[in-house]
């Protein structure tokens, strides 16, 4: 199957030369080139491209406008930016609307590799409309309360980086966005950053302020009213995962993975809120694990969808894998790592209301060598949810 | 009659005044003399009294005057002594007639030396003519303000003085001087940072302009390489199906067109062009990142990445001198101002190149020299060492290389600000700086930058 690719630049020589350089892959890529944003919008309107690659700085209709149009008109299109020079604010906006940024100049093989990376991730999702939901996801919803808190923290002149990192860690959507920016090539990231504290330190307060205060970078829609519940649950998971891996180098990977373990839920909700309402109600009634209930309805799970989303956002592979497999039971010879630790937490979570771990959970804890931590794990999972604290604060 | 005369007459004549007219006339004459004398005496007495009063008044005024002068003198003494500036009376041969302690304090010489020397002998040779010309202006009655020149500190360092002076008594100069070395350093640093900012803005604009052609030149080269490969594939296939006599008839044309030569050389020449484009791109990126560190606050920085791009930028200084080898093994991050660290590394690499060049320009044998850049993790720190096999630093000036404006380089090549900046930046990052140098063998600068226990748990992305 060939992919349809649209190249956009205001410099005809670039469009022309890049098209020629990509001819080597003509059995896989069918490349169209247009000059300028206006022509790009027309082309996107007419053709369902699989990939759009655009320059950022163009007269009249710029790269951001092209990608914004692409996201609404063609949500299933992979959006790449190929640009030489952007200012910080444009970088922020582009980093959150483009799936990947390639600094200009780049080479044709690097461009093809970027397209392949995206396609490999999307191959995890069989269903076209789920793919569109993931690709079209601009950002994750944030509870307004949390958003306000982080805004005031960022505006304060005395906030320390650690305090900001702690607040970021209290909300999965913000944590994901911060990791996404820190890993974006817009900032010339030379490292993969899996830790929120590390991401906060790499970005620095000035950029975080910029990020947070550009309010449209976050969504506040919450059609099923699940936002607070999901946030609180994932924060609790992160705390539990940190407990299980305390003293190992896995702590941050495990806790950040646990924190992001349910970001995929929001994608499934935006795909079909009504269907998801039924899934959630069944889960809340105790009919089964979320993933098991999602698959028959959506053909996928929030773990897979979340992994594809975070993978497209260029979060480190290790972290993406924790999210992808969080709801799966580790194999009989699995050892303790970030992935299995989070799996244990998710499994135990369902049993927390039952008073004690099941034999299966106990066996897994023994297998991973953390049986001694089970009582403490239970304390964390049965503690009043952080949501209660939030509501009290609001009152 | 005068009472004294009457008493005498009574005693001599027992109350019987002489009746002789001559005697009477004589007595009258004596009386007149007595009277006259008395009058004179009174006048004299009055004059004496007046004089005494006047003397006393004058004396009192003088006393007052002296007290006033003493007060003025004491004030002058006070100002002289407590002034934070260097204050002096200097004679026409520029020796001290009088001076306050500021000179000893700021220039570091003992008083015996200062008593002996001419100030002119302490002034930088390049500044002496200017100072003499200024002295002539002052002698002509003009007042000199904020006149700046270099004076040698007892340590051998040059200090910039800003001096005000006017003509004094007996052809002396009254001089007030102030050490402005630090202000000059800050001003030049500010100018430097403004310059960098301007370069940065320019670089950003130029980068965009250069990157566009670089992008399509590279793509076109790729396309051409692909095309040539296809064309030759076709030619070879066509050649294979030709009849022997057809081949022979084409052989001449193939020779004329240098077909074999093109087949051999085109791939490598296209590859060389591609490499050239890649290097232009690297250079533009390095320049942009160096000149425009976008954050003004510290962030977690990767010294290896900073070093790599600094080496790219310094290539112009190093490539004709000797090879630069790297062994960048540090994995920890440091909290740093990337821009400042870039400047530190650039200074050290350029200095290393100059040190090697000094040797190779005399002895040649560039292949035996190198600049090596090493980074390594140490407990709680990252070590960055930049070594060269150059001329080394003579022991005599080892202690002075970090002084502002100290330079051994010819006019126009060194500003004497590189190493002071290096030390200041390293110190402001809580780091340490060591110099190990053997004259004739080379120099190693070792910088240790602390890294906090909490590092981002990241792995370096493959390039």
Taking only the tens place, the pLDDT of each residue in B150-191 is 999 998 888 999 999 999 888 899 999 999 988 888 887 778
CATH code assigned at B174: 3.30.450.20
Q: What is the pLDDT of residues A167-200, one digit of tens each?
A: 888 889 889 988 988 888 766 656 788 888 888 8
Question: Is A206 in Cβ contact with B296 (below 8 Å)?
Answer: yes
- Domain limits for position B318: 298-463
Residue B111 and residue B67 share a domain? no
- Residues of A in Cβ contact (< 8 Å) with B458: 191-195, 198, 316
- Give the pLDDT of residue A392: 37
- Does one domain contain both B332 and B397? yes
Q: Are A89 and A107 in contact (CB under 8 A)?
A: no
Query: B351 and B330 in contact (C-beta within 8 Å)?
Result: no
Each domain of chain A, given as residue ranges in start order, spans: 3-123, 144-217, 227-386
Q: Average pLDDT of chain A?
A: 86
Report the distance separating Cα A102 and Cα A110, nearest Å. 9
In whole angstroms, give the CA distance from residue B339 to residue B195: 13
Q: Are residues B427 and B337 in contact, defined by beta-carbon separation less than 8 angstroms? A: no
Tokens of B236: 């070879």
The token pair at A222 is: 């919450």
Tell me which of B126, B145, B179 is where a domain ends. B179
- From A230-234, B37-41, B400-404, B410-414, the region with the lowest mean pLDDT: B410-414
Say yes or no: B378 and B455 in one domain.
yes
Cβ-contact A131, A125 below 8 angstroms: yes
Q: Quick check: A211 pLDDT over 50?
A: yes
Top pLDDT among B454 and A284 is at A284
Number of other CB atoms surrounding residue B51 within 10 Å: 10
**Residue, of B347 and A47, whose pLDDT is higher:** A47
SS3 at position B123: strand
Query: For residues A238 and A252, is the Cβ–Cβ distance under 8 A?
Result: no
Residue B180, min C-alpha distance to chain A (Å) = 35
> How many whole angstroms separate alpha carbon A153 and alpha carbon A259?
21
Q: Confidence band (pLDDT; 50, 70, 90) for A221?
A: confident
Classified as helix, coil or strand, B451 is coil
Indicate whether B444 and B424 sit together in one domain: yes
Measured CA to CA in angstroms, residue A277 lies from A130, A138, A267 at distances of 17, 22, 13
pLDDT tens by residue, A86-103: 777 777 778 778 888 888
Interchain CB distance below 8 Å, B219 and A18: yes
Does domain A227-386 fall under CATH 1.20.120.1200? My reply is: no
> Does any CB of chain B come closer than 8 Å to the CB of residue A188?
yes
Task: Please give the share of chain B, as a percent, with pLDDT higher than 70.
Answer: 92
A204 with B297: Cβ contact below 8 A: yes
Coarse DSSP helix, strand, coil percentages of chain A, rounded to the nearest 5 percent: 65, 10, 30
Least CB–CB distance from B299: residue in A103, A201, A249: A201
- CB-based contact (8 Å) between A189 and chain B? yes
Q: Residue A261 pLDDT more than 90?
A: yes
CA distance B298 to B288: 18
Is residue B51 located within the same domain as residue B125? no
pLDDT tens-digit series, residues B389-444? 988 888 777 777 777 666 666 655 655 567 877 888 888 888 898 888 888 888 99
Q: Are residues B91 and B210 in the same domain?
A: no
A105 cis-preceded (ω within 30 degrees of 0): yes
> What count of other Cβ atoms lies within 10 Å of the Cβ of residue B83?
14
DSSP 8-state symbol, A141: B
Pair (B13, B69) in one structural domain = yes
Q: What is the pLDDT of residue A395?
A: 34
Distance CA B365, CA B390 (A): 12
* Cβ proximity of A141 and A216 under 8 Å: no
Domain end: B150, B179, B208, which one? B179
- Above 50 in pLDDT, residue B328? yes
Interface of B with A in 269-288 (CB under 8 A): 277, 281, 285, 288
Percent of chain A with pLDDT over 90: 39
Query: What separation, in Å, do the N-terminal and C-terminal C-alpha atoms of chain B show?
Result: 137
Residue of B nearest to A189 (CA): B461
Q: Is B453 on the interface with A (CB under 8 A)?
A: no
Q: Per-residue pLDDT tens for B215-251?
A: 999 999 999 999 999 999 999 999 889 888 888 888 8
Give the pLDDT band (50/70/90) at residue B67: very high
Confidence (pLDDT) at A189: 58
Distance CA A237, CA A221 (A): 23
Class of CATH domain A3-123: alpha beta
Dihedral through CA A135, CA A138, CA A144, CA A145, nearest 10? 70
Structural contact between residues A53 and A104, judged by C-beta atoms closer than 8 angstroms: no
Confidence of residue A116 (pLDDT cuts 50, 70, 90): very high
Q: Are residues B322 and B421 in the same domain?
A: yes
Q: Do B220 and A17 touch (CB under 8 A)?
A: yes
* DSSP code of residue A222: -
pLDDT at position A381 is 85
Residue with tokens 């590799």: A113
How many C-beta atoms surround the C-beta of residue B226 within 10 A?
16
The 3-state secondary structure of chain B reads: CCHHHHHHHHHHHCCCCCCCHHHHHHHHHHHHHHHHHHHHHHHHHHHHHHHHHHHHHHHHHHHHHHHHHHHHHHHHHHHHHHCCCEEEEECCCCEEEEECCHHHHHHCCCHHHHHHCEHHHHECHHHHHHHHHHHHHHHCCCCEEEEEEEEECCCCCEEEEEEEEEECHHHCEEEEEEECHHHHHHHHHHHHHHHHHHHHHHHHHHHHHHHHHHHHHHHHHHHHHHHHHHHHHHHHHHHHHCCHHHHHHHHHHHHHCCHHHHHHHHHHHHHHHHHHHHHHHHHHHHHHHHHCCCCCCCEEECHHHHHHHHHHHHHHHHCCCCEEEEEECCCCCEEECHHHHHHHHHHHHHHHHHHHHHHHHHHCCHHHCEEEEEEEEECCEEEEEEEECCCCCCHHHHCCCCCCCCCCCCCCCCCCCHHHHHHHHHHHCCCEEEEEEECCCEEEEEEEEECCCCCCCEEECCC
pLDDT greater at residue B129 or residue A153: B129
Contact A180, A192 (CB under 8 A): no
Q: Let me know whether B418 and B430 are in one domain.
A: yes
- Chain B: residue whose CA lies nearest to A197: B456
Which residues in A lie closer than 8 A to residue B277 (C-beta atoms)?
105
Higher pLDDT, A66 or A57: A66
At which of B78, B94, B122 does a domain end?
Answer: B78
How many residue contacts between A and B have a Cβ separation below 8 Å? 116
Q: What is the pLDDT of residue A224?
A: 87
- More confident call, A222 vs B214: B214
Indicate the pLDDT class of residue A305, thresholds 50, 70 and 90. Answer: very high
- For the ranges A211-225, B10-24, B43-57, the one whose mean pLDDT is highest: B43-57
Show which of residues 230-259 on chain A sit within 8 Å of chain B, judged by CB atoms: 249, 252-253
Distance (Å) from the alpha carbon of A278 to chain B's nearest alpha carbon: 39
CA-angle at A171, arms to A170 and A176, nearest 5°: 125
Euclidean distance between CA atoms B285 and A284, whole angstroms: 53
- The answer, for A117 touching chain B at a CB cutoff of 8 Å, is no
By C-alpha distance, the chain A residue nearest B463 is A190
The single-letter DSSP state of residue A330 is P
Residue B144 clears pLDDT 60, i.e. is over it: yes
Please tell me whether residues B107 and B189 are part of one structural domain.
no
- The secondary element (H helix, E strand) that includes residue B377 is strand B370-378
Mean pLDDT score across all residues of chain B:
85
Q: Are residues B150 and B71 in the same domain?
A: no
ipTM of this complex prediction, to 2 decimal places: 0.72
Q: Three-state SS for B18?
A: coil
Mutant choice from B219, B375, B461 vs A, greatest count of A C-beta within 10 A: B219
Which tens digits make up the pLDDT trace of A134-157? 888 877 888 777 778 877 887 777
Domain count, chain B: 4
Q: What values do phi and psi take at B445, rounded to 5?
A: -100, 125
Residue A19 has a pLDDT of 93
User: Mind telling me how many Å the CA of A276 is from chain B's nearest CA?
Assistant: 35
Alpha helices in B388-440 (DSSP H): 395-398, 418-428
Is pLDDT of B359 > 60?
A: yes
In angstroms, the CA B291 to CA A88 distance is 16
Is the Cα torsion angle A270, A275, A277, A282 positive or negative in sign? negative
| A372 CA: distance to closest CA in chain B (Å) | 27
CB B163 within 8 A of CB B119: no
pLDDT of A394 over the 50 cut:
no
Chain A contact set for B332 (CB, 8 A)? none
Strand B86-90 to B173-179 pairing = antiparallel
Pairwise CA distance, residues A364 & A329, whole Å:
9
On whether both B102 and B40 belong to a single domain, the answer is no
pLDDT at res. B394: 82
Flag whether pLDDT at B296 surpasses 80: no
Q: What is the pLDDT of residue B406?
A: 67
Helix/strand/coil (H/E/C) assignment for every residue in A240-286: HHHHHCCCCCCHHHHHHHHHCCCHHHHHHHHHCHHHHHHHHHHHHHC
The stretch B293-300 carries a mean pLDDT of: 62
Distance CA A364, CA B425 (A): 53
Selected residue with higher pLDDT from A152 and B18? A152
Residues 6+ apart with CB under 8 A from A115: A3, A5, A29, A51, A78, A80
Q: A199 and chain B: CB distance < 8 Å anywhere?
A: yes
């Amino acid at each position: 199957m060939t992919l349809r690719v649209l190249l956009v630049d205001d410099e005809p020589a670039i469009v022309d030369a890049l098209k020629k350089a990509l001819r080597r892959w003509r059995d896989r890529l069918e490349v169209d080139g247009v000059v300028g944003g206006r022509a790009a919008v027309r082309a996107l309107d007419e053709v369902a491209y699989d990939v759009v690659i655009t320059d950022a700085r163009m007269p009249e209709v710029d790269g951001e406008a092209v990608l914004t149009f692409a996201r609404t008109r063609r949500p299933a299109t992979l959006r790449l930016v190929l640009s030489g020079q952007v200012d910080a604010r444009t970088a922020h906006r582009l980093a959150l609307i483009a799936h990947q940024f390639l600094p200009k100049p780049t080479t044709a093989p690097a461009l093809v590799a970027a397209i392949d990376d995206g396609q490999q991730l999307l191959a995890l999702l069989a269903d076209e409309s789920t793919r569109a939901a993931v690709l079209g996801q601009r950002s994750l919803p944030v509870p307004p309360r949390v958003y306000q808190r982080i805004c005031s923290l960022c505006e304060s002149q005395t906030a320390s980086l650690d305090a900001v990192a702690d607040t970021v860690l209290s909300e999965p959507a913000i944590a994901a966005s911060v990791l996404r920016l820190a890993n974006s090539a817009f900032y010339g990231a030379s490292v993969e950053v899996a830790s929120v504290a590390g991401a906060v330190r790499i970005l620095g307060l000035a950029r975080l302020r910029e990020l947070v205060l550009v309010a449209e970078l976050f969504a506040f829609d919450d059609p099923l009213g699940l936002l607070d519940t999901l946030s609180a649950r994932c924060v609790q998971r992160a705390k539990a995962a940190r407990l299980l891996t305390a003293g190992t180098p896995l702590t941050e990977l495990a806790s950040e993975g646990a924190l992001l373990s349910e970001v995929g839920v929001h994608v499934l909700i935006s795909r079909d809120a009504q269907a998801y309402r039924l899934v959630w109600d069944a889960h809340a009634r105790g009919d089964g694990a979320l993933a098991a209930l999602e698959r028959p309805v959506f053909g996928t799970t929030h773990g897979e969808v979340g992994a594809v989303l975070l993978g497209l956002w260029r979060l480190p592979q290790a972290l993406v894998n924790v999210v992808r497999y969080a709801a799966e039971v580790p194999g009989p010879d699995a050892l303790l790592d970030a992935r299995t630790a989070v799996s244990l937490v998710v499994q135990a979570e369902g049993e927390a209301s039952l008073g004690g771990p099941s034999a299966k959970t106990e066996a897994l804890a023994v297998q991973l060598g953390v049986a001694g931590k089970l009582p403490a794990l239970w304390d964390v999972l049965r503690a009043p949810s952080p949501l209660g604290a939030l509501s009290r604060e609001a009152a | 009659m005068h009472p004294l005369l009457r008493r005498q007459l009574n005693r001599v004549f027992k109350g019987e005044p002489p009746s002789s007219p001559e005697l009477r006339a004589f007595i009258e004459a004596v009386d007149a003399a007595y009277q006259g004398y008395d009058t004179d005496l009174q006048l004299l007495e009055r004059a004496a009294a007046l004089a005494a009063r006047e003397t006393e008044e004058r004396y009192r005024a003088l006393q007052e005057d002296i007290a006033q002068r003493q007060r003025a003198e004491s004030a002058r003494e006070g100002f002289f002594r407590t002034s934070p500036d260097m204050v002096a009376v200097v004679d026409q041969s520029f020796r001290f007639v009088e001076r306050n302690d500021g000179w000893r304090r700021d220039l570091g010489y003992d008083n015996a030396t200062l008593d002996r020397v001419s100030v002119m002998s302490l002034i930088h040779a390049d500044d002496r003519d200017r100072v003499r010309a200024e002295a002539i202006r002052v002698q002509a009655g003009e007042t000199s303000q904020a006149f700046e020149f270099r004076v040698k500190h007892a340590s051998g360092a040059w200090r910039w003085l800003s001096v005000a002076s006017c003509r004094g008594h007996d052809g002396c100069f009254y001089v007030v001087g102030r050490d402005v070395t630090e202000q000059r350093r800050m001003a030049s640093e500010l100018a430097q940072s403004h310059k960098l900012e301007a370069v940065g803005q320019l670089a950003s604009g130029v980068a965009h302009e250069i990157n566009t052609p670089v992008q399509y030149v590279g793509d076109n080269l790729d396309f051409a390489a692909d095309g040539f490969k296809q064309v030759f594939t076709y030619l070879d296939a066509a050649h294979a199906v030709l009849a022997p006599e057809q081949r022979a008839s084409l052989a001449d044309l193939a020779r004329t067109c240098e077909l074999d030569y093109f087949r051999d050389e085109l791939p490598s020449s296209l590859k060389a062009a591609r490499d050239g484009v890649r290097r232009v791109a690297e250079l533009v990126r390095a320049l942009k990142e160096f000149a425009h560190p976008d954050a003004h606050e510290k962030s977690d920085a990767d010294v290896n990445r900073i070093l790599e791009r600094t080496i790219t930028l310094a290539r112009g200084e190093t490539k004709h001198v000797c090879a630069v080898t790297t062994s960048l093994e540090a994995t920890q991050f440091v909290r740093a101002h990337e821009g400042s660290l870039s400047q530190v590394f650039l200074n050290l690499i350029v200095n290393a190149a100059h040190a090697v060049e000094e040797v190779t320009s005399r002895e040649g044998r560039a292949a035996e020299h190198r600049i090596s850049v090493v980074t390594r993790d140490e407990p709680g720190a990252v070590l960055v060492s930049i070594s060269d096999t150059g001329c080394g630093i003579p022991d005599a000036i080892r202690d002075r290389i970090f002084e502002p404006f100290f330079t051994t380089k010819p006019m126009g090549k060194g500003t004497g600000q590189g190493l002071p900046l290096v030390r200041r930046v390293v110190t402001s990052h809580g780091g340490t700086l060591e110099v190990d140098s053997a004259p004739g063998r080379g120099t190693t600068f070792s910088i240790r930058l602390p890294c906090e226990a909490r590092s981002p748990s990241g792995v370096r992305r493959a390039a």
